[in-house]
Structure 1
Amino acid sequence: MLTLKTSYGDAIDSKLAQYAVNHIKVDWNQNALAKAKDYQQIQNLSESRLKMQLTAKAGDQFTEEQANYAIQHLND
């Protein structure tokens, strides 16, 4: 919501910004899968290294479950 409210962002009304935050729909499993596919095309990482990258605090910060989903569906 910060980028919605900051003077450097869109400066959207607080109620509209809160509505947007409350109603956003994100499929984190699909996001993790897309990121995993990107990594595989660029770096060809092993499953364990891929999982580390997807879940690392200095990386993508997906949950372990989301990373596992991505790895399981990488070749679908």
Structure 2
Amino acid sequence: MRGFWLKIEEKISRSLVWALDNHPGKLLGTSIGFMLGLLFVTLGFWQTLVLVLFAVIGFVLGKRQDEHKDLSAWVEKTFNKY
């Protein structure tokens, strides 16, 4: 039985690597769409929207930190517009 699951795992791995090499945009888009759909069904529209908003804010802040840009100056500049 263990051999059966190893073969299944190998086939899935090969398929994912092939899809990532040949169709990365389609794979990413499908994965994001699936996750958003799952969140809508389980959490509801507004809670999913808030979750996505916080994820985007976290991504932007993390990206700025990775690029060694001054985070406090950016926050101050962004919020002083309003």
Greater RCO, 1 or 2 (C-alpha within 8 Å, sep 6+): 1
Larger radius of gyration: 2
TM-score by length of structure 2 reads: 0.31
